[in-house]
A and B are shown apart, each in its own frame.
Chain A
Amino acid sequence: MINLFQKLPLSFFNKDKGPYGLLSVFMFIAVGLTLLPALVVASSLLQPSLEVWAHLWDTILPGMLKNTFILLVGVSVGTFVIGTTLAWIVTAYEFPGKKTFKWLLVLPMAVPAYVMGFIYMAMFDFAGPFQTFFRNTGMQIAFPQIRSGFGAVLVMTLVLYPYVYLLAKAGFEEQSKSAFEAAKVLGAGRLRTFFKVALPLARPSIAAGVALAAMESLADFATVRYFNFPTVADGILRVWHGLMDLGAASELAGMLAFFSLLVLLTEQKMRSRKAYHQTKGKNQGVPAIFLTGYKGLIASFICISVFFAAFGLPLLQLLYWAALEISQITPHTLSVYGGLALRSFTLSVTAAFFTVLAALFISSVSRLGSGKFSRYLARASTVGYSIPGAVIGVGILIPLSALDRYINYVAGNLWGIDLGLVFTGSLIGLIYAYVVRFMAIAYGSIDSSMDKIPPNTVLAARVLGANAYRIIFKIKLPLILPGIIAGAVLVFVDVMKELPITVVLRPMSYDTLSIWVWQMAAESLWTDTALPALAIVLVGIVPVWMLMRKRKND
């Protein structure tokens, strides 16, 4: 077996290090499994069924395409404007409360769009408190219809701008001071410096942030459904749940994948045209100007209003509903919530465990090889992060249901027993999809901590007589443990918040916190959503807190 694979050009076997042929086979299998969903969906694009397309085109497709495009452009522009402006304000100026705002402005990231969406809908709809209040005071104010593309763009901009904000802020902070001083000496004012120096220099970071936000907006199906603004992601689930038409769903999934590819390519183009070299070191960052008097208050006001709109207000509303719910809680509802939390927790822990295990395996084995090939292969396993959840869901559903049919056929014919749906009816498919989707997070965290192990440290341990066992357990694992923990926590939180994959692949009536929130919100049962939604938001704050702590330490 080993010899066979040594002969294959695929084997990245290193003669100095012993026989790793078998490990490389496992590595191929692991990476292949992470690529499978994308390949399944891509292959369905390569063999389009004209009937399906003709039908889709006659019915829902034109509207969905238009909506998807509007959402993509709207969210990109919105997050770019809000994220970049806020990042510039907190780096280029000193004003009251700046240090607090710097991290408060990241908090909206903890709120999933499908939570923010129903809160905004409840608050600003015709029956909501705002419109009711103004109606009762007799004022004639024309409220824009919240159940619209406008509402969807607004809500997603508010939860997704932190991506742009964080990356733009990093982009501004790493710029060399001297570039600004040079601009100043050359007579450029603050505004001109921003447009001519700071913004172009930070372009690669900002492009990355906008791309992340755009990808998230593409992947969302729940928010757009609340606002009655169906996009392609929503279409996939409608076709699958409503018509049980896996073929049409996969064609739509291919189209959605195509959209995200477009976003990625645009980002690459924005980023790669120029690679900006900047001096590293202490002389970094835009020199901040002190804003005094009303100017400082304006800056504080801008920050506080964005924070309030994107986090404060929705949180208060959630807390209010939660209080209502708690006041009338019964043992029965409590046990329902307990069940939801337990299922979410079980799923998140299991997914985090397997994702970290797979990332650990792929990262370690890729380092045994001598060439670059194995490193590229390992990188390929992270592709799931740039594929919308619904696409991964469909890409896994197709092969697994075929497998289930095959197993049942074989089992039925050979032993005359009915096994049921082994993969699609259990948590296996769901966990598999989570691993594919969130591999990038665990891999990035673990791989970068492995990079930080100085090679001489391992050599030193060897020279001091340590065997392989001691090197792994006394040197390597303790050194990468922080990376493993961080990766596990991030995957845990993301699975807790995840919706599209869960909707597609969960076993019948397996309700989690996120599923419950989505279903109750769709029924406008606000108080029933409050506690699970609050739990999701609180868990979502954990990575924000980790991010802030890491920044402080760096």
Chain B
Amino acid sequence: MNISNESSRDDFVVLSGIIKRYSDITAVDNLDISIRKGEFFSLLGPSGCGKTTTLRLIAGLDCLSGGSISIDGKLVSNTTFFIPPEKRAIGIVFQDYALFPHMTVFENVAFGLYGQNKNQVAKRVNDLLSLTGLGGMDKKYPHELSGGQRQRVALARSLAPAPKVMLLDEPFSNLDAELRESLRSETKQILKESGTTVILVTHDQEEAFSLSDRVGLLNFGKLEQVGTPYEIYHDPASRFVADFVGKADFVPAYAEENYIVSSIGKFLNNKNYCLNASNVDLMIRPDDVTIEADVNGDAFIEDMLFLGSDVLYKLKLSNDVIIHSIGLSAYPIPKGTRVKVSINMPHTVFFPVSDKTQHNK
């Protein structure tokens, strides 16, 4: 499952076995991740999982306790060697943007272009301001801007020196929901155009999924899974991932050689473990389950949650197993209705019963 070991020529930012210990806790615990050139990569996890620490280690704002980090084939940090942040050719957008309050938008963006020809600087800054939709704002001060504009100034400022790697530390969390969505797609567009390799830190799975090429999921400083958003959601590598990303029900089941057998059906066993007729928990996502009103159905709707565009049904099966189903909200099926359940899963995901991973979701 762990793709990071398949080292390839495209690997641009390589974290090998990195460890960060503080006096009493290990914030990052032996992490191996390879990020490809031009990729949009997200570090996703609950608060305190070590994702921001990892970002700071890549940036050089903290020192490693073990392992090494290289960028573009060059070692930037291990326990005895350290290239300071200003020499790593990286850009950062902080959660609070950290704009220089005493400088205009123009001066902010031009800060990283120190020592270059004046005309070149002006051209580069103006190009970036128009790229980020801030044309005409160059003489304003940060306090005169809206939250979204500040975020874009921060983005333009860190793009100015054309960094090899762009690090984003929860850059959307200080914005209100509506603005967040439009800025997300805008930011993705701008970064794709610049061709920069991007590493985003977030606790918001929707954000990670909608922006990233690949996602790395962290828990307690350890890597749980690296994969495309599709893989993370539909083929989670651990019970923690299954739980953290979206809603999941776990149905008791029984593993045979070619099938996983449960009270709700028989599913192809495409995994190479749990083959010896052992008890497992089968993961069912609400969007894998469709229902149809049927007086002879073997389940009934115990409860219904109206969510806007969707409806979440809580279904009670004949053997008292509870699963959930997502349906369209325009034609909701009333509570108490008997239904026929059909399940259509591209992957069969199951975990050994003993595998009750702890996490701090």
Binding site for B on A (CB under 8 A): 16, 454, 456-457, 459-467, 470, 474-475, 478-479
Contacts and interface: CB of A to CB of B under 8 A. Distances in A.
A231 to B, nearest CB: 48
Contact of A459 (B61, B99, B112): B61
B105 to A, nearest CB: 15
Nearest to B56: A459
B63 interface: yes
B246 to A, nearest CB: 32
Nearest to B89: A465
Contacts of A456: 94-96, 98
A464 B161 contact: yes
Contacts of B61: 459, 463
B100 interface: yes
A465 B92 contact: no
User: Majority SS of interface residues in chain A?
Assistant: helix
Interface centre among B88, B92, B161 (most CB of A within 10 A): B92
A464 B63 contact: no
Given A460-B94, A462-B85, A479-B101, 20 more contacts: A16-B63, A454-B96, A456-B94, A456-B95, A456-B96, A456-B98, A459-B85, A459-B94, A460-B92, A460-B99, A460-B100, A460-B157, A463-B88, A463-B90, A463-B92, A463-B158, A464-B86, A464-B112, A465-B112, A465-B161
Q: 9 shortest A-B CB distances, which residue pairs?
A: A464-B112, A456-B98, A460-B98, A456-B94, A465-B86, A457-B98, A478-B102, A463-B85, A463-B92
Interface in B53-94: 59, 61, 63, 84-88, 90-92, 94
B65 to A, nearest CB: 12
B114 interface: yes
Nearest to A477: B102
Nearest to A458: B98
A457 B111 contact: no
Interface size class of B (residues with CB under 8 A): 20 to 34
Contacts of B87: 465
A456 B174 CA distance: 15
Contacts of A461: 100, 111
Contact of B86 (A16, A467, A479): A467
20 contacts: A457-B100, A459-B61, A459-B98, A460-B94, A460-B98, A460-B99, A461-B100, A462-B84, A463-B88, A463-B90, A464-B91, A464-B111, A464-B158, A464-B161, A465-B114, A466-B111, A466-B114, A474-B111, A478-B102, A479-B102
A466 B61 CA distance: 14
Interface string B31-65: 00000000000000000000000000001010100
Contacts of A16: 63
B183 to A, nearest CB: 19
A31 B101 CA distance: 32
Contacts of A467: 86
Contacts of B84: 462
A462 B60 CA distance: 10
A359 B65 CA distance: 36
Contacts of B101: 457, 479
Nearest to B61: A459
A514 to B, nearest CB: 37
A463 B100 CA distance: 13
A233 B160 CA distance: 64
A384 B91 CA distance: 46
Contacts of A457: 98-101
A479 B90 CA distance: 25
Nearest to A455: B98
Nearest to B94: A456
B163 to A, nearest CB: 9
A462 B98 CA distance: 12
B321 to A, nearest CB: 48
B231 to A, nearest CB: 32
Contacts of B158: 460, 463-464
Nearest to A466: B86
A478 B141 CA distance: 14
Nearest to A460: B98
Nearest to B92: A463
Residue with the highest number of chain B CB atoms closer than 10 Å, among A16, A456, A465: A465
Contacts of A466: 86, 111, 114
Contacts of B95: 456
A463 B59 contact: yes
A462 B86 contact: yes
A290 B21 CA distance: 62
A462 B91 CA distance: 10
Nearest to B109: A464
Contacts of B111: 461, 464, 466, 474
Contacts of B90: 463
Nearest to B98: A456
A460 B61 CA distance: 10
A470 B112 CA distance: 11
Contacts of B91: 463-464
Contacts of A479: 101-102
Given A456-B94, A470-B114, A463 B86 contact: yes
B211 to A, nearest CB: 21
Contacts of A475: 100
Contacts of A474: 111
Interface in B261-320: none
Interface in B150-182: 157-158, 160-161
Contacts of A465: 86-87, 112, 114, 161
Interface string B96-133: 10111110000000011010000000000000000000
A27 B63 CA distance: 27
Nearest to A16: B63
Contacts of B63: 16
B83 to A, nearest CB: 12
A460 B56 CA distance: 12
A479 B101 CA distance: 8
Pick the most buried of B61, B91, B102, B160: most chain A CB atoms within 10 A of its CB. Answer: B102
B274 to A, nearest CB: 47
Contacts of A464: 86, 91, 111-112, 157-158, 160-161
A464 B158 CA distance: 7
Contacts of B160: 464
Interface centre among A460, A462, A478 (most CB of B within 10 A): A460
A465 to B, nearest CB: 5
Contacts of A459: 61, 85, 92, 94, 98
A457 B94 CA distance: 9
Nearest to A15: B63
A16 B90 CA distance: 21
Nearest to A467: B86
A250 B152 CA distance: 64
Contacts of A454: 96, 98
Nearest to B101: A479
Contacts of B59: 463
Contacts of B114: 465-466, 470
Interface in B172-197: none
Contacts of B88: 463
A293 B4 CA distance: 82
A459 B100 CA distance: 11
B102 to A, nearest CB: 5
A220 B158 CA distance: 57
